[in-house]
Every structure is written in structure tokens, then in C-alpha cells.
Amino acid sequence: MRLPVLLLSSCILIAPALGAPPVLAQEPAAEEQVEPAPADSEPPPPAPSPPKSRPGIEEIVIQAGESDAAADFNAGDSVAAFDASDLEALGAQSVEDLAAFTPNLEIVTAGATTPTFFIRGVGLNDFNANSSGAVALYQDDVPLNAPALQLGTLFDMEAVNILRGPQGTGPYRNATAGAIKLFSRRPTPEYQAYLNAQYGNFNFMDFEGAVQAPIFEDILTSRFSFRYTERDGYMDNRCGDAPPTEERLSEVGPWLVAHPALRHGANVQLASVIGLNRCRALIWERGVGRTSASGTSSCAVAVAMVSSGRLDPGEIRVEMPGGALLVDVDGELDVTLRGPVEEVFDGELSEALLATFERGS
């Protein structure tokens, strides 16, 4: 009976030997004898944990394209830059408003449409409408050579760069004084809109806004911007709805003739400038009323116009009801009456008056 038991035991021992190796690896190591550590010894340091592997991308590199406005800092020698927030804080309506905040930039205007630009004292002192200055002005790389376009209203701008000094690269090369570059905000593939409104005295209204929307996703997008400014006048033109000059003078003349300060027989001449070396005169005589052309009155009117500075010395045409006379007045107020009389209104002059003109009196 002992033999079968031994065989059975052998089978039991052989079975693990013939089994899979993982079964052996999972056997506990409880049978190993570990000597206890001395009481005064320090505990062994913990074993370092194996490094954890990071799944996914190991390194991320972000590259962004440089804007056109930022590229000027690499190419330019001296650049004064204003971004959108700067333009809004300064309240800049045009490039002319930036001259007060840009060293060495001077803008001289002889009118609303004839500006001249100077950078570091270099510029073209010429106010002709077709002149091309020493400072190149570009908006989105489009040249603005006409002076009438150079002080346009700024709105929906991304940046304004002022490059000082001669330019040797880019589309604005050969500009001897410098260049001014305007950059509009470019559309992006997002829906966006804004509106800024201002209101001031004399009904000042200023509206600026933009609307942006994609047309074809990731292919075509659009942006529409605008600016509207309006303001009432700060002075009233009280002559705007007034009647013509002749009617107004016709109301004043009789009153002056009847004034007690004027002696009997005194004449009153009321005149107004109507053109270059031309004036219009109305004549009243006390006790008679309104009269026709008179050589004496025309000379008095011409002298009064020159002495008051309303007309320059020289040949002056005095137009009166019934005719017009040419009176030559020099700087010393010496008068020469010239003829003949030209009829400019309906009516006839008396023979006595014509004879007076012929005698030169």
C-alpha cells in the first residue's frame, strides 16, 4: 500500500514541473528565510518607482505668422507704432492727429486737401495737388500719392507705423524722409461685430463699427467697416436767408437820407463788393430820392472802398442803376474817372449827365 502513495506524491510533484511558468511566478515566497534586521539599524530606503510613460505627443511646437505691422520693426531703422488701442485712446481721427505724439513728424496743411509731411526736417514744401512728397504714405500696401487722400479718416485700423529715415526696401523704397503705413483689420473666419458711438456739443455724432462673417468656411470670409461723423455749425449765418443786397440797401438808404444829421441836398452812397475790383453802389439824394448813375458818387464810392481796404488800389468798376463807371484810384487816393458809361440796366441817362461824363468831372 505504500507504493501507490509514493506514486501519487510523485505525480503531484511532477505536475507543477510540467505546468506553465506563470503559475510558478505567482507562488508566494513565504518559505524564504529573511534574517531580521538589528534593532538599531535604519530602515532601508524605499525603492524608486519606475518612471511613468507619458502617452500621446511628447513635444508641442506652436508657430505663428508675423503680422505686417510687426515686420516693420525688423526692417525699419526707427519706427513709431500705434496699435488699435493706442488710436482709440488718443482719439485719432486722421494721421494729422498722430503728429503731436510722434517725434520728428510735422504735418503742414495749407487747406483741408493739401498736406505736406516732414520727418526729421526732410520734406517737400509744395502744396500743389499733384505733387509727390518725400514721405511715402501707404494703406495696406496701396500708395496714397494724392494729397487729397493722405488725411483720410482712420477707422477699423489694426496699426499705424511711422518709419523715420530714408527707406531702401519694400514698396516704399526711395522715400527720402520716411514712410507712413496704415494697416486695416483683416477679416478672420469668425463672426464678429462692434459699434462705437460718441455724442458731443453742437450735436456732434460719431459712429464707428464693423461686421465680420465667414462666407465659405475656411475659404472665404468678409468684413465691412464704416465711420460716420456729423456736427452742427457753431456760428449762425444771419445773412443766409436775407434778401438780396440791393433790397437791403434800398431799405437803409431812405432812412439815412432823412436823418437830421445830413444837411439838405446831401447824397448817400451805399456800396458793397461784388467781385475782384468791382462794387455795386446805390445813390440817394435828400429831397429827391434814389437817383441814377453819377460820376461824383462813383468816385466817392471807389475812394471809400480803397481807403477802407475792401478793394485794392487800381481800376475799379462801380456799377450803379443806369450804368457803370471805371474809376482809377491810386495809393494816394487820387481819382481818375474813366468812361464811357456802359448800360447795364433798362433806362436812359439824361443828356446833362452824359455831358458831365464827357468832361471828366
The reported pLDDT for the residue numbered 46 is 65
- pTM, two decimals, is 0.51
CATH topology classification for 68-184: Ferric Hydroxamate Uptake Protein; Chain A, domain 1 (2.170.130)
Classify burial at 322, counting beta carbons within 10 Å of its beta carbon; exposed 0-12, middle 13-18, buried 19 or more.
buried
Torsion angle of C-alpha atoms 293, 296, 300, 305, degrees rounded to 10: 40
At position 262, the amino acid (one-letter code) is L
Could you tell me which CATH class the domain 245-359 is placed in? alpha beta
What are the domain boundaries of the chain? Answer: 68-184, 192-230, 245-359
C-alpha cell at 325: 463807371
Whether a cis peptide bond, with omega within 30° of 0, leads into 103 is no
Beta pairing partners, 225: 210
3-state secondary structure of 46: coil
Q: How far apart are CA 350 and CA 347, in angstroms?
A: 10
Query: 245-359: same fold as 68-184?
Result: no
Start-end of H helices in the chain: 2-18, 21-25, 68-75, 84-90, 245-257, 295-307, 351-359
How confident is the prediction along the chain (361 residues), in pLDDT tens digits per residue?
Answer: 333 333 333 333 333 333 444 444 444 444 545 555 555 556 666 666 655 555 566 666 655 555 666 777 666 578 999 999 999 899 898 999 999 999 999 998 876 678 899 999 999 888 787 788 889 999 998 998 888 888 889 999 999 999 998 887 777 767 889 999 999 999 999 999 999 999 999 999 999 999 999 999 889 999 999 999 999 988 887 777 777 766 766 667 676 666 676 666 567 777 888 888 888 888 877 666 677 777 778 888 888 888 888 899 999 998 887 778 888 888 888 888 876 544 433 344 455 545 554 554 4
Q: How far apart are CA 274 and CA 280, in angstroms?
A: 6
Q: How far apart are CA 191 and CA 212, in angstroms?
A: 5
Residue 275 main-chain phi, psi, to 5 deg: 175, -170
Q: What is the DSSP string of 257-293?
A: HT-TTSPTT-EEEEEEEEETTEEEEEEEETTTEEE--
Q: How far apart are CA 140 and CA 184, in angstroms?
A: 7
Q: How far apart are CA 297 and CA 32, in angstroms?
A: 144
- How long, in residues, is the chain? 361
Q: How far apart are CA 164 and CA 180, in angstroms?
A: 9
Determine the straight-line distance between the first and last CA of the chain, rounded to whole angstroms.
Answer: 178
Classify burial at 247, counting beta carbons within 10 Å of its beta carbon; exposed 0-12, middle 13-18, buried 19 or more.
exposed
Over the stretch 125-180, which tens digit does the pLDDT of each residue have? 887 877 888 899 999 989 988 888 888 899 999 999 999 988 877 777 678 899 99
